[in-house]
Every structure is written in structure tokens, then in C-alpha cells.
Amino acid sequence: MVDDGKELTMAGNSSRKGAIRASKKGPAGGTGGKNKKRLTGKGPTPKAEDRPYHAAAKRKKAVAKKSSSKTTTRGAGRVTTGRSDGKEIRPARAPRGDRPRGEIVAGRNAVLEALRESVPSTELLVARSIEVDDRVAESLKLALHLGLPIREAHRAEVEGISPNSQGIILAIKPFQYSSFEEIMQRAKHPALIVALDGVTDPRNLGAIIRSAAAFGAAGVVMTERRAASMTASAWKSSAGAAARLPIAQVTNLARTIDAAKKEGLFVVGLDGESEDLISTMKIASEPLMIVVGSEGKGLARLTREKCDLVISIPISATTESLNASVATAIALFSVDQERRKG
């Protein structure tokens, strides 16, 4: 550019020596294979908790240290039982599992009673750091004596299974029922069998089983549907008789009654509305099947029609009816007394 005879030179375009900026040393385009490590990526940015000097990493380290200290001091609240020689007995831990399957017994009194009656069980579940009183201590000793696995669990897990568990739960084994044919094979002459037509209260069921065993019955037959089954309550009410007496479940009681008749048994039903009294029964010395109805409705119509004889137990007019287990016990006692006379 020319201005008034003078040449003006723009910055950077001067041809004067030294005015041109020298280029950098080294290769102008790439490294040509040199310094490969400088081109290698360093990977993704670490998480905050993985950086040693980050606040998140310090918090993570503190939590891990706290949890490890709890693990080392947990033994202070462990449930143990003492021995006479001063040595400590620690219950064998069962494998860690989920909610116990089948029937359960919850609560210190209920669990202790079930263990005293030797109710068949699968495991004893005890909450960690449970307050050990006389009932818990005896329950642990009985479980050890029976060879029952004992599993410790968090209190939240135990209360999740049963809110009223008081920190201890007993899991019950499924009951092994017999068949009507097995009961008939076991029966001695003259046979005596008790059949239940829709008894729904487990405590009544247990009491009936107990009475049947006491008066020499060969077994108890009950229906599968709309009836009580062998729960922990029934076990306790039977006072151990359920372990000695065969108990059968049948799908159709009417067909079972027909089968009993073919085996030569007389079928006697108990019904409070019958005009025939138990004292007038003349077949007590014969093979018998005594049929007991449900607590509310009594004998079903078809069951009543299948019976050879329907009898009642005389009671005061002010009392509407007898409990099913009480009526069964009276009937069994009456049959036993007549057979003893003969």
C-alpha cells in the first residue's frame, strides 16, 4: 500500500529480515510414530467415591469401617444356653433361608408348649439380640435336645413373618396322614373308628384325637374340605396323641362310610335332635364307626342318611348343645363302659 510516496506495510507482511515469526521446532504434522504414550487415552473419569482425596471417598471409607466394627461386636448379643460344666453351648445354625414353609407357631408361650409336646418341626427361628427369659432358654434347650436346627435372623425378618412373634418362631412339619385302609388294618376286633363330618375348630380336632386314643379307637377319619386339619393348635390339643393314632383325610365321607359298612362296621351318628338316647344303644359291643357332625350344623343330610343309627346325649334344657369334642368323649366313654361289661 502506497500513501504520499511512502510505502506502508501491514503488520505481519514485512519483508524485513527477522520480521517473519520462526516456526516451532519438531515435526509440523503429527509425531510420525514418536511419543506414542502421549497419544494413549487415560480412560473415563473415576467416580467421586473412587478418588482417594474426594469427600465421597472419605464417606465411603467411614461407612465401611463402621459396618466392620459392628460385625466384630455382634457376638455380644448372641443367643446361647448354659451347661452345668460351665461351657457354652451355641446352637447349630441352619442355612440362611426365606420365610418358613407351612404352619408356624409364634410367641414364647406357644413355641415352648409345642416343643414340650414334641410337635414335629423343621426349624426354630430366633431374633438376634433377643431378651432371653426362662421360656426362651427352655425352648432353646428343647430344640437342641430334639436336634432341631436353630436359625438366627434380624428382628425385622422375624416380625415380618409374624408381628406377634416376640422374637421366636417354630416352623411345623406338614402332617403325614394315613389312609382309611391303614386304619382298618390296625383296628382290633371289635373295631372302633371316629369319623368327623366337617369339624372346623383345630382345638376340637385335637381334643377328639386325644379322646379317641384314650378309649382305644383305631383311628380318626376326617374330610379334606371345609374341615380343620392337623395344625399346631390341633397338635397341642391332642397332647401328643396325634403322634400315636393314625389320622386319615378322605375326599368323600359318604363313600368312606359305605366302605366301613362293607368291612362289617355299624355306623352310629351323633345328633342332638335325635330321639334315640345313647343309653339305649345295644350295639356297643359290635364294630363301630362313630360319626360326629360339625360345631354348628351337625351331621350333613347325606351323612345322616348313611348312618345305621343316630343317637343323642341327654342334656339340660337350658343348654342348647354340647361341644363336638365333649360329645365325642362322652360317646366313646359310653362305648368303652359297655364293652368292659361284656
For 56-89, b where at least 16 C-beta lie within 10 A, e where not — what string? ebeeeeeeeeeeeeeeeeeeeeebebeeeeeeee
Cell 389320622, located at residue: 247
- pLDDT tens for residues 211-226? 999 999 999 999 998 8
- pLDDT tens for residues 35-92? 555 656 667 788 888 888 888 888 888 878 776 655 433 444 444 444 445 444 444 4
- pLDDT tens for residues 81-107? 444 454 444 444 444 456 776 788 888
HSE-CB of 19 using CA atoms within 13 angstroms: 9
Q: Tell me which of 247 and 236 has the higher pLDDT.
A: 247
Q: Cell numbers of 176, please?
A: 403325614
What gap in Å lies between CA 324 and CA 198, rounded to an integer? 11
Q: 324 - beta bridge partners? A: none
Q: Which of 45-49, 119-123, 187-191, 195-199 has the lowest mean pLDDT?
A: 45-49
Q: What is the pLDDT of residue 173?
A: 87
Q: Tell me which of 240 and 78 has the higher pLDDT.
A: 240
- What string of DSSP letters covers 242-307? GGTS-EEEES-HHHHHHHHHHTTPEEEEE-TT-SSBGGG---TTS-EEEEEEBTTTBS-HHHHHH-
Q: What is the pLDDT of residue 231?
A: 85
Q: What is the pLDDT of residue 9?
A: 53
Say if residues 336 and 308 touch (Cβ distance below 8 Å): no
What gap in Å lies between CA 245 and CA 212, rounded to an integer? 8
Mean pLDDT confidence for 134-148 = 93
**Where are the CATH 3.30.1330.30 domain residues in the chain?**
81-172
- What string of DSSP letters covers 293-326? EBTTTBS-HHHHHH-SEEEB----TT-----HHH
The fold of the 81-172 domain, in CATH, is: 60s Ribosomal Protein L30; Chain: A; (3.30.1330)
Contacts of 341 (CB under 8 A, 6+ apart): none
Residue type (1 letter), 273: E
Q: What is the pLDDT of residue 77?
A: 44
To the nearest 5 percent, what fractions of the chain are helix, strand and coil? Answer: 35, 20, 45
Q: What is the pLDDT of residue 14?
A: 54
- pLDDT tens for residues 3-39? 555 555 555 555 555 555 555 555 555 555 555 556 5
Reported CATH class of domain 180-341: alpha beta
- pLDDT tens for residues 274-331? 888 998 898 999 999 999 998 888 899 999 999 999 999 988 877 777 889 999 999 9
